[in-house]
Amino acid sequence: MDRSRDIRRKFGALLSMAALFACGCQTVKTPEEEIAKKFIPRELSKVSMPDYVVEPPDIIVVEVLEALPGRPITGERLVRPDGKISLGFYGDVYVAGLTTDEIKEKIVLHLRKYITDEALGLAIPDRDKPGEMKRAEGEIRDLNRVFVDVASYNSKVYYVQGDVGVPGRLPITGNETVLDAINYAGGLIPTASTVNIRLVRPAPPGACCEQKLPVNLPAIINGGDTTTNYQMMPGDRVVVYRDPIVRTSIFLDRLAAPFNSVLNSMLQYSFTARSVLSINVPINGFPTTTGPTTGTGATNGVLTPRTTNNLGNGAR
């Protein structure tokens, strides 16, 4: 008896520790007071993004006003996984990692193999020397014969993970906040914890470690506090953790699943065994009689055929 008590006590302590670990302590280390003092782009203090760097699978628009007859260069171009765009007859140009101005310069230099400098705007007629051309002033990026712009921003994204309606990656436009990101992801589901949300920002090149910033969603929504409503940057991760009570329930269900399987098997075996034994028991629980009936009148209150005959003979 004492041994069974010890086993139960130890099992109860094990369950308590398991519940504690299941709840976890997944809050961030940076307090909101320190964050409020730091300059971190947020809802009311947003910053402009640096020049956009084109990468796969962005889509850019390339327009050349005076291309070869029958060989126009116009329309959208997809940046392929190898970092190149196709200009059709004029070949491919590598554009990954470049800004639109840099892409424009590279395309102009590439097209000099096929199109004259005058058509590209690199040379203009020399007024002092009729019939001759001179180099156009200014830089290539300032030319008005070639146009390059981004049509679809697909390569710069942020992620929303955890207990939200539609977790995944979303394209960034430079104006989103944490509240926007959660709303775009379908909002929180009932199992989410509103007080356990964080923004994880990868470390830039040369930095020691990533940033882990807390998100106080109740204060953002109910109090209009913008302290933790950060501006989203490319590569950011918004993580919405599950409520500790729900996590504990799921953990305990997984822990009890093997025992439930064994118990169900035992109950099923017991039911089957009783069903097989009950086949030999007659209806209403009366034993069956296979031989001739003898006696003085009745068996368990039921008259037998022989008894009936005896009574009949005596009557006669």
Residue 78's pLDDT is what?
96
Residue 286's pLDDT is what?
54
Alpha-carbon span 115 to 221, nearest angstrom: 58
Describe the crossing of helices 2-23 and 244-277 by its angle, rounded to 10 degrees: 140
Which amino acid appears at position 18 of this protein? Answer: A
Instruction: Note every long-range contact of 100-103, with CB atoms under 8 Å and residues 24 or more positions apart, other chains counting.
Output: 100/52, 100/54, 100/60, 100/148, 100/149, 100/150, 101/51, 101/141, 101/148, 103/54, 103/60, 103/148
Q: Is the CB of residue 97 less than 8 Å from the CB of residue 83?
A: yes
Instruction: Please report, in tens digits, the pLDDT of each residue of the chain (316 residues total).
Output: 454 555 455 445 444 444 444 444 443 455 666 776 678 899 998 999 889 999 999 999 999 998 999 999 999 999 999 999 999 999 999 999 999 999 999 999 999 999 988 888 887 766 667 766 677 777 777 888 899 999 999 999 999 999 999 999 999 988 899 999 999 999 999 999 998 999 999 887 776 778 889 999 999 999 999 999 999 999 999 999 998 888 788 878 888 888 888 888 888 888 888 888 877 656 555 555 555 544 444 444 444 445 444 444 444 4
Structural domain boundaries in the chain: 30-48+157-244, 59-152
Find out whether the peptide bond into 57 is cis, omega within 30 degrees of 0. Answer: yes
Residue 211's pLDDT is what?
84
Q: DSSP assignment, residue 249?
A: H
Report the top-level CATH class of 30-48+157-244: alpha beta
Alpha-carbon span 284 to 282, nearest angstrom: 6
Residue 29's pLDDT is what?
52
Alpha-carbon span 157 to 171, nearest angstrom: 4
- C-alpha triplet 158, 163, 164: angle, nearest 5°: 60
Q: Is the CB of residue 92 less than 8 Å from the CB of residue 106?
A: no
Report the top-level CATH class of 59-152: alpha beta
Residue 311's pLDDT is what?
42
The pTM of the full predicted model, rounded to 2 decimals, is 0.65
Q: Is the CB of residue 64 less than 8 Å from the CB of residue 246?
A: no
Quick check: do 30-48+157-244 and 59-152 share a fold?
Answer: no
Q: How far apart are the first and last CA of the chain?
A: 73
